Structure 1
Amino acid sequence: MTRDTPPEVLTSRLGYLLKHAYLRLNEESSRALAPHGIDGRELAVLAVLDAHDELSQLEAAGKLSVDRTTMVALVDALEGKELVERRRSPHDRRKNIVQLTPAGRSRLRDAESARQEVERRFLAPLSSTDATHLVRALQSLVGAPSS
């Protein structure tokens, strides 16, 4: 049995298939993002921050479904890379807003292109229609709006 050939007894098990598809996609994504100096979680933070004008760390954590401690560590790492900055909210001085820096916007754009290419290659064995159906089915399963 090779790594690429799953045991026949497992090939109809959804959990097995989802896990191994995720592991393969994650491995390929990690390799593609490495030259950009970020990982998939950091890319997700950049994307969420870019999609919203003013988010606090806590609000961003909620959108990403991560706990407060994890979010602090992610923002600290991105701030250390000069990709995000914290600043006081002009509307609520008790709240810190996290925003992308110009370098963060540039890194997001480049890393997002790399992520899209990985996903395109990952889904290449499927027809365009099947790839779209897979993404929509997964969106339904996780309760995400379809795009």
Structure 2
Amino acid sequence: MGARLGYQLKHAFFALEELHAEHLADGPVSVRELSVLLLLDGREPESQQQAAERLGVDRTTMVGLLDSLETKGLVTRQPDPDDRRRNVVVLTAAGRAALKAAKAASDRAERQLLAELSPTEAAQFRRLLARVVPH
């Protein structure tokens, strides 16, 4: 069973989630909130429904994540300048700073997960995953 790809991927994911939780523990965002900040970074503002679809979460979950991030001052919901009937979600300056710190923590977690691989092997592993996982 341990040699099955699904088993290995699942346990690698669980290990990475634990490392993320450990490395993000002192910061302002959780792993799930980091996903939202990464999604919003460097893109045109999106509605919370669009963001939920891109993250693959239901609207209720997205509302909870955005409410938490908004309470922390990391995102804001604003009327879309092109369509006043729609609100878009935008990173605040504090959100960009939190994202920078959380990305550094996430990078540390990933390096720790891949520590048994050489830098060349880690890069190859990432390239191979990119080939089999559609973006």
Q: Which amino acid aligns with 1:24?
A: A
- 5+ residue gaps, structure 1, are 1-9
C-alpha distance in structure 1 between counterparts of 2:57 and 2:132, whole Å: 19
2:20 corresponds to: 29
C-alpha distance in structure 2 between counterparts of 1:141 and 1:77, whole Å: 33
Instruction: Tell me how far 1:61 sits from its aligned partner.
Output: 1.2
C-alpha distance in structure 2 between counterparts of 1:49 and 1:66, whole Å: 15
1:89 corresponds to: 80
2:113 corresponds to: 122
1:11 is aligned, of 2, 27, 44, to 2
2:25 equivalent to 1:52:
no
2:39 equivalent to 1:43:
no
Q: Segments of 4+ in structure 1 off by > 6 A?
A: none
Instruction: Tell me how far 1:141 sits from its aligned partner.
Output: 2.4
C-alpha distance in structure 1 between counterparts of 2:70 and 2:55, whole Å: 18
Q: Which amino acid aligns with 2:38?
A: A
1:99 corresponds to: 90
Instruction: Tell me how far 1:65 sits from its aligned partner.
Output: 1.5
Instruction: Report the number of matched residues.
Output: 135
Q: Which amino acid aligns with 1:88?
A: P
- Larger radius of gyration between Structure 1 and Structure 2: 1
1:7 corresponds to: none
Taking every aligned residue pair, what percent have the same amino acid on both sides? Answer: 47
- 5+ residue gaps, structure 2, are none
- TM-score scaled to structure 2, two decimals? 0.93
**Could you tell which deviates more after superposition, 132-141 or 88-97?**
132-141
- TM-score scaled to structure 1, two decimals? 0.86
